[in-house]
Amino acid sequence: MAFSGQLNGMDFNLSEEHLAVRDAARYFAQNELLPEVIERDNAQKFDPVLLKKMGELGFLGMMVSPEYNGSGMDTLSYVLAMEEISKIDASAGVIMSVNNSLVCWGIEKYGSQELKQKYLTKLATGEMIGAFCLSEPEAGSDATSQHTTAVDRGGYYLLNGTKNWITNGNTSNVCVVIAQTDPEKRHKGINAFLVEKGVEGFEVGKKEDKMGIRASDTHTLMFSDVKVPKENRIGDDGFGFKFAMNVLNGGRIGIAAQALGIAAGAFELSLKYSKERKTFGKPISDHQAIQFKLSEMATKIEAARLLVYKSARMKDEGKDYVQAAAMAKLFASDVAMWVTTEAVQVHGGYGYVKEYHVERHMRDAKITQIYEGTSEIQKLVIARELLK
């Protein structure tokens, strides 16, 4: 399913470079990710060899400037790669999304040259893996209610608190941690820090036993009197909340692309199966009931693709993409959930067993409606932008 056309004057005809990126990601997904994707899901563990290959191929620092060892690609290239990889393995997609959107992009955009040289150059190649630590037991969508504190001690900050639902929580080497420095200032008293794994007082807690994206590790992280050098703060004092909101806005594009990939992967499996499976002496694709399902699946996926590509293009053109990203994430995640459920239905009993992959796509799809802000959060973002 390839799209080319225009929307609001935006040209979505893919360049040769874009096509090359898409094809490279597709080849990697089909030949490297697919063979043991079910085994990784069962074991709840991502293969470090595959993670290393993702770094070598440039998938972990796609939008990072070559100056910092990145691929120097645009957001649309990132979206194309994310879609192809998530068609096969959404766990690989979320690892890629966090490292690219929430960690690398934020450091390059707002970090000091020292932080870029020390961390970004390694994150972009996969030599280091990053995690983004915002959510807490009592501060998920309400990012202003940070209970993790970073007390200014002069030459360093003393970090205390707990972060949960952290993707790459155990795999990561460095974490972006959002913490409250001055509670009286509310959101203007929040800071963002880079904290290395292994420092005294930094403990990795339990691993979550999740319904979907099971091959990506999700942990609770705990900080007890962790000394964070002052130079590891990202941006000016009090910039942390704005930093978090800005990276989440961009992160929504990546998650929308992941949702798009999950939906497209489930659809492609359903289309193939419908031509092979026979009932009453003919392929089920000849039955009108199945044709209706396939038609609606394809239409919704194409609509989601338009929204995702549009938000990526707006970001690349320096336009205000906040509303577009929220719309893309809201719609694509709902499409992913609906399409994967229908894919299981098309497969019938076979759709309920792991061998046919669609049950995994359905489990993976659900999280896209939750992380980077629930559907309700996206609606609030969209409404806020409409009412400006």
Q: Which residues are catalytic?
A: 372
Q: Scanning the structure block, which residue is given the tokens 């000394």?
A: 227
Distance, CA of 125 to CA of 291 (rounded, Å) = 44
195 DSSP β-pair partners: 175
State the Cα angle at 55 between 54 and 59, rounded to 5°.
65
